[in-house]
């Protein structure tokens, strides 16, 4: 059975494909052997702890960083190295990013209307004052904001959640086919996170977007994504259908992430956290050595075998 490369989405439907991506920063191997696909109208969650390589992966997809080896394809075409300005601009329009920090990503001196009308004008999605204002209104309504109230406001007059909605609207303004959301809720109040995740899931469906959702929180991944890739130390350790990865986790690191999800029905026991940390260190030590052996454990469920002890 051939299982490499193993793309969660049928290749012909893939909008973005990463094939055997490596990224080195001097002695640091930030990514190794990353192969995954993003499909239209589908979300893939990249899950793992700080430093595992999630953001580097997102930056490579957005062409804000470049791999040291491997291929990036867009609709089947190699975009690892872009040769023309037209292709670069076209790619940048197609692949939009929503960042973690909704506070620093909007310019304080411009109104929300300015932030949204600029990309519409730049890409000529509407022309003339009336049509542009109507397009801005539609975008704001699409992300659950009242256009009449929000349009003339400035970023500091909005809450964090509202600003993140404006960032999402701005990304949608250029009608992309790919949205990369890097920890889009981690700087927001817990109470409003779910609303943003539901918004991402809805726009993905309605706009047939290929969504890459990056998070350290495996529980939220299940709300948004059809597929999950669990990363550890720059490698994919377990991946496939969300239900399979969460319901039948095989890799000890995935099991560790799942056991760290708070269980509201159980009281916190003193001493438990020290035991958890000790177990976490053991799992990390076990998972760190690289292994090229991948087992297929379900239709769309793969797990990297642990390296044999020396």
Ligand X SMILES: Nc1ncnc2c1ncn2[C@@H]1O[C@H](COP(=O)(O)OP(=O)(O)OP(=O)(O)O)[C@@H](O)[C@H]1O
| Residue 27 in contact with ligand X, rule: CB under 6 A | no
Q: Which residue is nearest to ligand X (CB)?
A: 55
Q: Is 30 in the site for ligand X (CB under 6 A)?
A: yes
Least distance (Å) between residue 181 CB and ligand X: 13
H helix runs in the chain, sequence order = 54-61, 85-94, 112-122, 129-142, 147-150, 160-172, 190-206, 218-224, 242-247, 252-259, 272-287
In angstroms, what is the minimal distance from the CB of 157 to ligand X?
29
Tell me how far, at minimum, the Cβ of 41 lies from ligand X, in Å.
Answer: 25
How many other β-carbons are positioned within 10 Å of the β-carbon of residue 156? 9
Between CA 211 and CA 181 the distance in angstroms is 7
φ, ψ of residue 238 to 5 degrees: the values are -155, 140
Query: CB of 71: closest distance to ligand X in angstroms?
Result: 19
51: contact with ligand X by CB under 6 A: yes
Does 290 bind ligand X (CB under 6 A)? Our answer is no
Q: List the one residue from 9, 52, 61, 116 that touches ligand X (CB under 6 A).
A: 52
Shortest spacing between CB 138 and ligand X, in angstroms: 33
Per CB under 6 A, 54 contacts ligand X = yes
The pair of structure tokens assigned to 56 is: 């580097």
Q: Write down the least CB distance from residue 48 to ligand X, Å.
A: 6
Which residue, 32 or 304, is less far from ligand X as judged by CB? 32
User: ∠158-160-162 over CA atoms, to 5°?
Assistant: 55
Q: Counting every residue, how long is the chain? A: 310
Would you say 231 or 249 has its CB closer to ligand X? 231
Cα–Cα distance measured from residue 291 to residue 287, given in angstroms and rounded to the nearest whole number: 9
Does position 229 interact with ligand X (CB under 6 A)? The reply is no
- Other CB atoms within 10 A of residue 195 CB: 14
Residues in the interface with ligand X (CB under 6 A) total: 11
**Coil, helix or strand at residue 254:** helix
Closer residue to ligand X (CB): 28 or 149: 28
Which of 45, 94, 44, 50 has the alpha carbon at shortest distance from 74?
Answer: 94
DSSP state of 159: -
Q: Which is nearer to ligand X, 174 or 280 (CB)?
A: 280
- Contacts of residue 197, defined as CB under 8 A and 6 or more positions apart, other chains included, come to 185, 220, 223, 224
Asked if 191 touches ligand X (CB under 6 A), the answer is no
- Residue 226 is classified by DSSP as S
Query: Among 56, 177, 185, 254, which residue sits at the site for ligand X (rule: CB under 6 A)?
Result: 56
* Residue showing tokens 């009336």: 130
Tell whether residue 11 is a contact of ligand X (CB under 6 A).
Answer: no
Q: Is 55 in the site for ligand X (CB under 6 A)?
A: yes
Rg (CA), the chain: 20
CB of 100 or CB of 150, closer to ligand X: 100
Chain contacts with ligand X (rule: CB under 6 A): 25, 28, 30, 48, 50-56
């Amino acid at each position: 059975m051939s299982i490499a490369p193993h793309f969660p989405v049928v290749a012909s439907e893939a909008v973005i494909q990463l094939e055997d991506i490596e990224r080195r920063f001097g002695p640091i191997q930030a990514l190794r052997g990353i192969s995954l696909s993003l499909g239209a109208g589908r979300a893939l969650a990249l899950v793992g702890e700080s430093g595992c390589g999630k953001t580097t992966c997102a930056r490579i997809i957005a062409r804000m960083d470049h791999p040291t080896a491997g291929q990036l394809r867009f609709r089947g075409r190699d975009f690892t190295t872009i040769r023309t300005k037209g292709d670069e601009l076209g790619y940048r329009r197609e692949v939009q990013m929503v960042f973690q920090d909704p506070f620093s990503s909007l310019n304080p001196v411009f109104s929300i209307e300015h932030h949204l009308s600029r990309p519409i004008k730049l890409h000529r999605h509407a022309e003339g004052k009336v049509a542009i204002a109507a397009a801005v209104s539609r975008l704001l309504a699409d992300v659950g904001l009242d256009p009449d109230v929000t349009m003339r406001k400035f970023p500091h007059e909005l809450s964090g959640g509202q600003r993140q909605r404006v960032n999402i609207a701005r990304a949608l303004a250029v009608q992309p086919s790919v949205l990369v959301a890097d920890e889009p809720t981690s700087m927001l109040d817990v109470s409003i996170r779910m609303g943003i995740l539901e918004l991402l899931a809805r726009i993905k469906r309605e706009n047939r977007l290929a969504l890459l959702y990056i998070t350290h929180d495996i529980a939220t991944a299940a709300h948004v994504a059809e597929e999950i890739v669990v990363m550890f130390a720059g490698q994919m350790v377990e991946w496939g259908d969300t239900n399979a990865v969460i319901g039948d986790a095989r890799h000890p690191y995935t099991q560790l992430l799942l056991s760290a999800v708070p269980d509201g029905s159980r009281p916190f026991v003193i001493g438990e956290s020290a035991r958890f940390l000790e177990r976490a260190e053991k799992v990390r030590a076990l998972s760190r050595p690289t292994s090229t052996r991948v087992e297929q454990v379900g239709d769309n469920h793969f797990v990297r075998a642990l390296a044999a002890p020396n």
